[in-house]
Structure 1
Amino acid sequence: MERLSYIDQHARSIDANRDRVWKALLEVMCKDPADPSTVPGGFVLDEAAVPSRLALKGRHWFSVYALVFELDDEGANRTRIRAESWGNFPGLHGKIYRALVIGTGGHKIVVRGLLRRIAAAA
Structure 2
Amino acid sequence: MIRPDLDGLPFVDEHRIIAPASPASTWRTLARQLGGGRGAGATALARLLAAEPGRATGTLFDEGAALPGFAVTEAVPGRLVRLTGRHRYARYVWLFTLTPVSGGTMISARTYAAFPGPLGRLYRLLVIGSGGHRVAVRRLLRAVRDRVGR
Give, as a single letter, the amino acid of the residue that structure 2 aligns with 1:17: S
Matched, 1:121 2:147: yes
TM-superposed deviation, 1:120: 1.8
The 2-side partners of 1:86 and 1:73 are apart by: 23
Q: Which moved more, 1:37-46 or 1:18-27?
A: 37-46
**SS of residue in 2 equivalent to 1:51:** coil
Q: Which runs of 5+ in 2 are unaligned?
A: 1-5, 39-56
Contact 1:29 1:39 in 2 (8 A): no
Q: Percent identity?
A: 31
Report the equivalent of 2:138.
Answer: 112
Q: Which of 96, 111, 135 is equivalent to 1:69?
A: 96
Report the equivalent of 1:60.
Answer: 87
Q: Which moved more, 1:22-31 or 1:111-120?
A: 22-31
- The count of corresponding residues between Structure 1 and Structure 2 is 121
Matched, 1:41 2:68: yes
Q: Which of 10, 16, 36 is equivalent to 1:11?
A: 16
Report the equivalent of 1:78.
Answer: 104
TM-superposed deviation, 1:2: 4.9
Give, as a single letter, the amino acid of the residue that structure 2 aligns with 1:14: A
TM-score (norm 2): 0.74
The 2-side partners of 1:116 and 1:33 are apart by: 25
Residues 2/50 of structure 1: CA separation in 2 closer, same or farther (3 Å cut) = closer
The 2-side partners of 1:121 and 1:40 are apart by: 21
**SS of residue in 2 equivalent to 1:68:** strand
Give, as a single letter, the amino acid of the residue that structure 2 aligns with 1:84: R
Matched, 1:92 2:118: yes
The 1-side partners of 2:146 and 2:87 are apart by: 31
The 2-side partners of 1:121 and 1:34 are apart by: 20
TM-superposed deviation, 1:109: 0.4
TM-superposed deviation, 1:4: 0.3
TM-superposed deviation, 1:105: 0.1
Q: Which runs of 4+ in 1 moved over 4 A?
A: 31-34
**SS of residue in 2 equivalent to 1:16:** coil
More strand by share: 1
Report the equivalent of 1:102.
Answer: 128
Give, as a single letter, the amino acid of the residue that structure 1 aligns with 2:21: A
